[in-house]
A and B are shown apart, each in its own frame.
Chain A
Amino acid sequence: MARINSDMGGARKPAPWSVADFYRLLAAPPALVLALFFVLPILGVIWRGFSDPAPGLTNYRRLFADGPYVQSLWLTVTTALLVTVLCLITAYPVAYMMARARNSVQQLIGALVIIPLWTSVVIRSYAWMVVFQRRGILNQALTATGLVDAPIHFIPGNVAVYVGMVHIMLPFMILPLVANMRSIDGRLLAAAGILGATPVQGFLRVFLPLSMPGILAGSALVFMLSLGFYITPALLGGPRHMMAAVLIEDQANRQLDWGLASALATVLLVLTVTVYSVYVRLSSRVDGGLAHGR
């Protein structure tokens, strides 16, 4: 790391410090908060998974035995993955436009993204129920235009669930994308154009790679949030969409089997930490080391 000695001007001589040292210090406040209010509780949860009702692996044995848990975890992960991919595809154009647009257009798009964000997930999910109903507006439109003969049973079903979940998650993908895209220098694209690249080439070779950190950030965020999701799949989906969070909540709140709930939550936690570590490794490679002042 760069070490600055103020021998430069020769006038004063403050103690030498390094950039990295300063930034390391910044970790102290959040570390304290998270240690006390997250790590500590979670250690308790992990411990409980191994000790409630009796010390040992009973909870884990039950998890991996002939129950719904493994399947549900698999379903949860695959659903979260699919939602993330769909979200990314849908969000990217919007973020692109929002990041590069004029101020007024930017604010308009921003408003349209933020407004649904602040409406309760429950209410939004019910609105989608209204859309996808047998007698709902979508079916009415489809039958009126003759595209289908009879109303389609969207609920329960994959289309309804994914449309609903992507809708909920979209702002969480758009905003990190925008945050990152806004710092991409427009002149780089202009330079590419001057050097003979078509806009498409300019986009693919210059803009897209530079937006990678945003893509990775938004994807990680949406993926993690989707893992803990259950309202929308419960209202729009069928039993095929039984998310792990439903099971955990059931065990924790109704069956009051905290040992099992803790074990299940621990498994989910380990999964997520692994995925996220992979993401961080990927993203640091993508930066090309630029972001760390090396």
Chain B
Amino acid sequence: MDKGFSRFNRREFIAGAGAGTLALITGLSSTALAQAGRMIMATGGGALEDAYRKAVFSVWKEKTGIDIITTSNEGARLKAMVEQGKTEWDVLQGAAEEVIVFARQGLLEKLDASKFDKGQMFPGTVHEHFILTDFAAYCIAWNKQNVKANPPQNWKELWALNGRIALWKRPFQTLEVALLADGVELKDLYPLDVERALKSLDKIKSKIVWWARGAQGAQLLIDGEVEAGAIWNGRVHAPKLSGAPVDFTLNQSILVSDAWAIPKGAPNAAKAQDLVALGSMAAAQAEFAKHLPYGPANKGALALLGPEIKAVLPQPSETNRILDIEYWATNGAAVNDRFNKWLLA
């Protein structure tokens, strides 16, 4: 039987906790929609968001006085918002090969092409509903403690390496490099010969250590869990500078991009167009490149950067290939299924 003392304590605690939490919940309304002078941009977060803040948002704030609130850029959330007619985001950033899928599903507004300096942008970066803003490289990296001499400088050499090889567990970019390892020329990559790529992967299947997230892949290389592998340059660039035993080469890399777009029904669509345009300007692109090792999509930005920085930035050239997002948008579903089936076999 409960005596008075403890029961009193418990009841009071429960009542207090209940009232307190209720007050907290209703008091902490987190909506930013109703407030003027604020815009919302959905990004991938982390260092990317920090770089945007320094390169774009601060300039935007000076120019227009508008604050930018960032939020997470889940594709499913975008679709849910647009479907319900309650779009909260003004601008979104995502991986280009995913943003094109959003475009094809009718989830994006058309961009106002007149706002972009088309002559300055690399060819293929300005699309109807989105714009590519940077180039990251899916490149060859190795652990310096495991691979002391003759590190692989191209995918063929990586395939021939004696030891474990790390690759991204998705077909995007992985199939491309498998073809390159098999001797296909950079310019002949698309449309992908999926079966040939899978056969090429079959040759090293026992050596492959698959990674699912960028940080995991970087950790595999840094820890020497693998000898070498494929990773995005951004994931190993900073660790290398901090003294981690990794190194990489941009030769034969596949260039992937972030894309900016405006969701359909964005609350501040007109201003969003200006914001996207600002992000593509040479000045903003140069500033961005100073914080993250991604090449600018705007050629004009290169002129504003010093030689040491330019040397490490992935830029479209004959030694690399930009991921063909049109190919992937059309064939992604089928290729993904085929790849997953191959993985499970």
Residues on A lying within 8 angstroms of B by beta carbon are 66-68, 71-72, 75, 126, 129, 133-135, 153, 155-156, 234-235, 238-240, 242, 247, 250, 252-258
Contacts of B340 in A (CB 8 A): 67-68, 72, 242, 247
Contacts of A67 in B (CB 8 A): 337, 340-341
Partner of B332, one of A68, A126, A255: A255
What separation, in Å, do the CA atoms of A256 and B216 have in the docked complex?
25
Q: Shortest beta-carbon distance, B335 to chain A, in Å?
A: 11
Contact, CB under 8 Å: A255 / B101 = yes
Contacts of A134 in B (CB 8 A): 223-225
Q: Which residue of B lies closest to A71 (CB)?
A: B344
Contact, CB under 8 Å: B74 / A253 = yes
B45 part of interface (Cβ distance < 8 Å): no
What separation, in Å, do the CA atoms of A153 and B166 have in the docked complex?
13
What separation, in Å, do the CA atoms of A71 and B345 have in the docked complex?
9
What separation, in Å, do the CA atoms of A253 and B219 have in the docked complex?
25
- 5 smallest beta-carbon distances between A and B, as pairs: A239-B343, A68-B340, A68-B341, A234-B212, A67-B337
B79 part of interface (Cβ distance < 8 Å): yes
Partner of B79, one of A133, A135, A242, A258: A258
Contact, CB under 8 Å: A253 / B341 = no
A153 touching B102 in the complex, CB below 8 Å, given contacts A133-B225, A242-B340: no
What separation, in Å, do the CA atoms of A255 and B210 have in the docked complex?
21
B75 part of interface (Cβ distance < 8 Å): yes
Contact, CB under 8 Å: A254 / B98 = yes
- Given pairs A155-B225, A238-B210, 5 additional interface contacts (CB within 8 A): A68-B344, A126-B219, A133-B225, A234-B213, A239-B343
Contacts of B164 in A (CB 8 A): 153
Contact, CB under 8 Å: A256 / B343 = no
Contacts of B225 in A (CB 8 A): 133-135, 155
A240 touching B344 in the complex, CB below 8 Å, given contacts A253-B74, A254-B98: yes
Contact, CB under 8 Å: B212 / A135 = no
Q: How large is the interface on B (under 10, 10 to 19, 20 to 34, 35 or more residues)?
A: 20 to 34
Contact, CB under 8 Å: B76 / A256 = yes
Contact, CB under 8 Å: B336 / A255 = yes
Encoded as 1 (CB less than 8 Å from any A CB) or 0, chain B from 317 to 336 comes to: 00000000000000011001
B38 part of interface (Cβ distance < 8 Å): no
Among B288-336, those with CB < 8 Å from A are 332-333, 336
Contacts of A155 in B (CB 8 A): 209, 225
A257 touching B333 in the complex, CB below 8 Å, given contacts A68-B340, A72-B340, A242-B343: yes
A256 touching B344 in the complex, CB below 8 Å, given contacts A129-B219, A234-B212, A235-B212: no
Contacts of A133 in B (CB 8 A): 223, 225
Contacts of A253 in B (CB 8 A): 74-76
Q: Which residue of A lies closest to B95 (CB)?
A: A254
B105 part of interface (Cβ distance < 8 Å): yes
Residue among B98, B102, B212 with the most chain A CB within 10 A?
A: B212
Contacts of B74 in A (CB 8 A): 253
Q: Which residue of A lies closest to B75 (CB)?
A: A253
B237 part of interface (Cβ distance < 8 Å): no
Q: Shortest beta-carbon distance, A26 to chain B, in Å?
A: 18
Q: Shortest beta-carbon distance, A23 to chain B, in Å?
A: 22
Q: Which residue of B lies closest to A154 (CB)?
A: B225
Q: Which residue of B lies closest to A257 (CB)?
A: B333
A-B contact pairs, 30 of them (CB 8 A): A68-B340, A68-B341, A68-B344, A71-B341, A72-B340, A72-B344, A129-B219, A133-B223, A134-B223, A135-B224, A153-B164, A234-B212, A234-B213, A238-B209, A239-B169, A239-B210, A239-B344, A240-B344, A242-B340, A247-B340, A252-B76, A253-B74, A254-B75, A254-B101, A255-B101, A255-B332, A255-B336, A256-B79, A256-B101, A257-B333
Contact, CB under 8 Å: A66 / B341 = yes
Contacts of A254 in B (CB 8 A): 75, 98, 101
What separation, in Å, do the CA atoms of A66 and B98 have in the docked complex?
25
Q: Which residue of A lies closest to B205 (CB)?
A: A239
What separation, in Å, do the CA atoms of A68 and B169 have in the docked complex?
14
What separation, in Å, do the CA atoms of A168 and B337 have in the docked complex?
29
Contact, CB under 8 Å: B343 / A68 = yes
Contacts of B102 in A (CB 8 A): 256
Contact, CB under 8 Å: B210 / A256 = no
What separation, in Å, do the CA atoms of A41 and B224 have in the docked complex?
46
Q: Shortest beta-carbon distance, B106 to chain A, in Å?
A: 11
Q: Shortest beta-carbon distance, A152 to chain B, in Å?
A: 12
Q: Shortest beta-carbon distance, B341 to chain A, in Å?
A: 4
Q: Which residue of A lies closest to B172 (CB)?
A: A254
Contacts of B332 in A (CB 8 A): 255
What separation, in Å, do the CA atoms of A66 and B209 have in the docked complex?
25
Contacts of A257 in B (CB 8 A): 333
What separation, in Å, do the CA atoms of A240 and B169 have in the docked complex?
12
What separation, in Å, do the CA atoms of A235 and B213 have in the docked complex?
8
Q: Shortest beta-carbon distance, B61 to chain A, in Å?
A: 31
Q: Shortest beta-carbon distance, B224 to chain A, in Å?
A: 6
What separation, in Å, do the CA atoms of A256 and B99 have in the docked complex?
11
Q: Which residue of B lies closest to A62 (CB)?
A: B337
Q: Shortest beta-carbon distance, B76 to chain A, in Å?
A: 5
What separation, in Å, do the CA atoms of A66 and B340 have in the docked complex?
11
Q: Which residue of A lies closest to B337 (CB)?
A: A67
Encoded as 1 (CB less than 8 Å from any A CB) or 0, chain B from 60 to 100 comes to: 00000000000000111001000000000000000000100
Q: Which residue of A lies closest to B209 (CB)?
A: A156
Partner of B75, one of A66, A126, A256: A256
What separation, in Å, do the CA atoms of A67 and B344 have in the docked complex?
10
What separation, in Å, do the CA atoms of A75 and B344 have in the docked complex?
9
Contacts of B337 in A (CB 8 A): 67-68
Contacts of B98 in A (CB 8 A): 254
What separation, in Å, do the CA atoms of A257 and B329 have in the docked complex?
12
Contacts of B76 in A (CB 8 A): 252-253, 256, 258
